[in-house]
Amino acid sequence: MRQRRLKDLDEKLKELEDYLDTDGRENKGAWRRLFADKAINASWEITRMLYEGVITEEEIAASFEEPDSRLCLEIGCGKGQFLCSRAADFPDDLFIGVEGQESVIVRAAEKVRDSGHWNIHLLSGYIHDVHEFFEDGEVDMIYLNFSDPWPKAKHAKRRLTHRSYLAAYMDILADGGRIEFKTDNEDLFDFTLEEVEAMGYNIVQMTRDLASSDLESARYRTEYEDKFIDQGIKIKYLAIEK
């Protein structure tokens, strides 16, 4: 759904620039260093340790290369509810949220600011080619939550689960990385299953009623997801691993 343009949108984007970028291409291959810088700015203790020479910036950046620190990407993050709930429960993970609608990304940035989660960073804009923003193997998790179904057959290649997109996601995923996909749209879910199977990818979890399952992903909802469940609409979900 197209959102109404917010009043003073440009001013709001400027005020929230610590929480979002309008172009993240310069961070390609260096996203973990960006989060190291955010951690330094967010922590008086880390700042003190730097000042006293107890630790160096290089050592801080290296700490974000540890296996427990996953780099997670949500394409189409909406107003940020999903990311904030994940960041609260997984403080060692690093979260990047991408949203094309500026009026929506402002709401997400406000939510991130108010939550105090330094481990979330947002990108304002549409990513058409993930290779421009991420090195091969740089990302550990990709979330596709309630993507535009593009229902007309002639628009199938625009769907974010089309095989061309899936192949690109696999390029930037680390070995053992995962793609998680949610939708309320039955046709898009069936299409996605066909694309995943055609590419020979490994489906590790799948359900056509996520809210009634005991899967971890059922606990982390988007704003849209809450509305759909309240309306009695079943959420379809699958996860594939590299």
Written as six digits, the tokens of 211 are: 């809210």
Catalytic residues: 148
Characterise 165 by phi-psi region: left (phi > 0), alpha (psi -120 to 50), beta (else): alpha
Concatenating the DSSP letter of every residue in 132-169 gives: GTS-TT-EEEEEEES-----SGGGGGGSTTSHHHHHHH
Question: From CA 96, how far away is CA 77, in angstroms rounded?
Answer: 9
H or E, element range at 116 = none
Task: State the Cα angle at 133 between 132 and 134, rounded to 5°.
Answer: 105
Written as six digits, the tokens of 86 are: 């994940």
Strands, sheet with 71-75, edge to edge from the N-terminal-most edge strand: 20-21, 120-124, 94-99, 71-75, 139-145, 173-183, 236-241, 202-207
